[in-house]
Structure 1
Amino acid sequence: MTDGGPTRDVFLPVAAQPSIDTLVDFAREAEGLGYERAWVPETWGRDAVTTLTAIAERTEDIGIGTSIANVYSRSPALIGQTAATLQEVSDGRLRVGLGPSGPAVVEGWHGVEYGNPLRRTRETIDIVRLVLSGDPVEYDGDIFQLSGLRLRCDPPDTLPGIDAAGMGPKSVELAGRFADGWHALMLTREGLRDRLADLRRGAELGDRDPESLRVTLSLPCIALDERERARELARNHLAFYVGAMGTFYREALERQGYEDEAIEIASEWANGNQEAALAAISDELLDDLGIAGTPDECRERYADWESIDGVDAVSVSFPRGAEPDEISATMRALAPE
């Protein structure tokens, strides 16, 4: 973990945007505002690799990263090739975020069986490192067996860090044991502290220094003069993820003391009662998982998250329904000083 206070990153919108140019403009605005890195998600919209390439070509200094590239839709060797290429395109500004995603995306969109997510993530990290080393890739794992080839271009002079995403104890322990860092999401401040203990335990199991691992928190943020609009966007975002994106998000809330609300949100959403699902989200839950309100109150509450010991970067993330002007307004309101 790095010395000093955490940096401020930006997690570009997961929802569809008008164009690639819109996403590039967000990244350029973030660069001008002093954000450290622009993370690009990948679900079932524009792919992260093409988007990051466009951003890398049209920015100068801001870091770039995948958050999160899933470990099912590309082979580990292809992820390694892609990381080497993006590191070249960006002149060394890449950080790789990997994770298993969930059945809704992996099976429902990619048509790939979702199984052994922890083992697959661990083997993917291993193989990506081998590819990036430039050495022959010899690997005999439970899932992947590779032999005989090496990267056909020069490996990067500076190797990109490889982070793993996770919400549960075992997935965070895996990040501590095998990755260079951890991407945290859907966590309260207390829940984050619990998972940081899992990260440290994983580092110890891997005989690694926990202080060497980089922790990036994706924090849902929406800062608008119209407070109720900000709160509505945040509620919609949370209800969608708990209700529509599989069990992982619901289970994450249950572990953190919100079992009744998590079950009610998921149940109402599954039954087509979206308004009831939104109504099940208390102000306490909404504020425990992110910041939504006026610019002044969001700036004040953002500082509470930055003060958590062990967090290296707090990434400003946006509700899926936010309009481009609302995303820009939030970036400006929470820009590094």
Structure 2
Amino acid sequence: MTDRSLHLPVAAVADGDRLVQYAMRGEDAGYEHVWLPETWGRDAITVLTRIASETESIGLGPSVLNVYSRSPALVGQTAASLQEISEGRLRLAVGPSGPAVIEGWHGESFEKPLRRTREFVEIVERVLSGDVVTYDGDIFSLGGFRLRCDPPAVPVPIEAAGMGPKSVELAGRFADGWHAIVLTPDGLTDRLEDFERGIELGNRDRSDVTVTLSLPAAVSDDGELARERCRNHVGFYVGAMGTYYRDSLARQGYEDEAMAISEAVANREFDRLDELIDDSLLEQLAIAGTPEEVTEQLARWDDVDGLDELAISFPREATHEEIERTIDALAPQN
């Protein structure tokens, strides 16, 4: 069985206490790790600091911090601090995000995302080593920076997000892991070839890197409600979060569906999602249904060779009670 972790809700929750409660519930249920996205709500670092202080054993980290809104030196400092507070439980995931977020929300130019991610990872590694950082790259130039505290006693894995072939290859070549999203089992297998090519180019060992897939999940006695929650969530990502998720789905053999979903969401024709994301497609992109139905669906992902960690995420419309039910139903101890 693949390791199982939690990817905390990307949607707004009532208060930060809820996120801490989900992490604590996950720890009690045997989840290996808890990931926190950073979108347009609470910043990930503040909440992760609380989670680190109020849990004991569960791993934690952001998935992902974009490589535009913070400098790599600052992220290195942040990682060193969180590793100290969590007593060695941090894994750091970074990625370029996309133009909708970087240009629309942060006012930065979305230029050279792959090169920027590579340099970002390299600089954070050097910061965390405790050595003086001198770096002259295409994007970043640093001289004289050094941590004014001891470097982490436990090294911090630096993992990278990506969806396209080149970004996934980059993760395999330069990062300690790859974070994947909006992938079918076959699509993940195809991208794993890019990841493994990167590992070979970097002269690295496959056992030293981790593949983590974030997968939306909803478990309910009302299977149709669970499927509706995940269907709307997938539709939002493909249709409303720029072109990256749409293009990723198209690369996996669903170009017509991806374009139709994007068009429907743009026109606010949400009632069409039942037809465009039918049960067959939904089963490729999410875990949704009754407790009995999701057991079989989980087995499909456990059979994907090369997937190390399945991160259970939650639909945007999921209620507090539905999130807790899903955490419990999909717990590793079950």
What band does the TM-score fall into relative to the shorter chain? Answer: over 0.9
Distance across 2 between alignment mates of 1:66 and 1:309: 25
Q: Equivalent of 1:93, from 86, 89, 92? A: 89
Give, as a single letter, the amino acid of the residue that structure 2 aligns with 1:63: G
Is the contact made by 1:102 and 1:114 (CA closer than 8 Å) also made in structure 2?
A: yes
Is the contact made by 1:239 and 1:278 (CA closer than 8 Å) also made in structure 2?
A: no
- Give 1:304 deviation, angstroms: 1.3
Give 4+ residue runs of structure 1 displaced > 3 Å after superposition: none
Q: Does 1:289 align with 2:289?
A: no
**1:153 counterpart residue number:** 149
**1:175 counterpart residue number:** 171
Give, as a single letter, the amino acid of the residue that structure 1 aligns with 2:324: S
Unpaired segments of 5 or more residues in structure 1?
none
Is the contact made by 2:230 and 2:315 (CA closer than 8 Å) also made in structure 1?
A: yes
Q: How many residues align?
A: 333
**2:309 counterpart residue number:** 313
- Give 1:156 deviation, angstroms: 0.4
Q: Equivalent of 1:14, from 5, 10, 15? A: 10
Show the 5 A alignment for 1:169-248.
169-248=165-244
SS in 2 for 1:258: helix
- In the superposition, the TM-score normalised over structure 1's length comes to 0.97
Give, as a single letter, the amino acid of the residue that structure 1 aligns with 2:302: E
Distance across 2 between alignment mates of 1:72 and 1:114: 8
Q: Equivalent of 2:104, from 83, 108, 113? A: 108
Distance across 2 between alignment mates of 1:323 and 1:212: 37
- In the superposition, the TM-score normalised over structure 2's length comes to 0.98
Identity among equivalent pairs (%): 60
Question: Per-residue CA shift, 1:64-119, capped at 9, x if unaligned?
Answer: 01101110110111111110010011001000011011111111111111111100
Is the contact made by 2:211 and 2:307 (CA closer than 8 Å) also made in structure 1?
A: yes
SS in 1 for 2:215: strand
The CA RMSD over aligned residues, in Å, is 0.9
Give, as a single letter, the amino acid of the residue that structure 2 aligns with 1:225: D
**1:276 counterpart residue number:** 272
- Give 1:6 deviation, angstroms: 1.8
Q: Does 1:52 align with 2:45?
A: no
Distance across 2 between alignment mates of 1:80 and 1:34: 29
SS in 2 for 1:146: strand
Unpaired segments of 5 or more residues in structure 2?
none
- Give 1:148 deviation, angstroms: 1.2
Give, as a single letter, the amino acid of the residue that structure 2 aligns with 1:213: V
Distance across 2 between alignment mates of 1:282 and 1:113: 37
Question: Per-residue CA shift, 1:5-60, capped at 9, x if unaligned?
Answer: 42110111110111110000000000000000000000010000001001000001
Is the contact made by 2:135 and 2:142 (CA closer than 8 Å) also made in structure 1?
A: yes
- Give 1:278 deviation, angstroms: 4.7
Is the contact made by 1:138 and 1:148 (CA closer than 8 Å) also made in structure 2?
A: yes
SS in 1 for 2:312: strand
Question: Per-residue CA shift, 1:178-211, capped at 9, x if unaligned?
Answer: 0001111110000111111111000111111223
Q: Does 1:34 align with 2:5?
A: no
Distance across 1 between alignment mates of 2:208 and 2:103: 35
- Give 1:159 deviation, angstroms: 1.1
Distance across 2 between alignment mates of 1:323 and 1:208: 43
Give, as a single letter, the amino acid of the residue that structure 2 aligns with 1:167: M
